[in-house]
Amino acid sequence: AQTVTQSQPEMSVQEAETVTLSCTYDTSESDYYLFWYKQPPSRQMILVIRQEAYKQQNATENRFSVNFQKAAKSFSLKISDSQLGDAAMYFCALLPGNTPLVFGKGTRLSVIA
């Protein structure tokens, strides 16, 4: 079975500080993809970052970066210089081969001014 676990239902961070959201997953596939999506109150799921499992280098997108630990099946998201607009639900998702995308239950991030 493919599973994604986000152990932090809620997190908060001061504006301009750094926060890390945790995600662990389980899959028997050797080739898979991992994603972080952001869902603001508008409900629109927005892609934040994507990581291919075969790549050892951690993906980065501006203020967003991941710590991908394949052996530990861990895929955490680091947000640097947090901004008020970063406040949202964040979902970790696993695409294990030719099967449906599997989502965690999300982490609600609050940014304190």
Partner 1 sequence: GAGVSQSPSNKVTEKGKDVELRCDPISGHTALYWYRQSLGQGLEFLIYFQGNSAPDKSGLPSDRFSAERTGGSVSTLTIQRTQQEDSAVYLCASSSRQGRTDTQYFGPGTRLTVL
Q: Which is nearer to partner 1, 16 or 40 (CB)?
A: 40
Least Cβ distance, residue 103 to partner 1 (angstroms): 4
Site pattern 6..45 for partner 1 (x: CB under 8 A): ---------------------------x-x-x----xxxx
Give, in order, the Cα–Cα distances in Å from 87 to each of 34, 52, 100: 21, 26, 27
Asked whether position 64 contacts partner 1 by CB under 8 A, the answer is no
Q: Is 68 in the site for partner 1 (CB under 8 A)?
A: no
From the list 27, 43, 38, the residue with the least C-alpha distance to 102 is 27
Binding to partner 1 by residue 99, rule CB under 8 A? yes
Cα 50–chain centre separation: 9
Contact between 37 and 47 (Cβ < 8 Å):
yes
Choices 15-23, 63-71, 72-80, 88-96; region in contact with partner 1 by CB under 8 A: 88-96
Q: Are strands 10-14 and 107-112 parallel, antiparallel or unpaired?
A: parallel
Token digits for 100?
């449906």
| Shorter beta-carbon distance to partner 1: residue 16 or 47 | 47
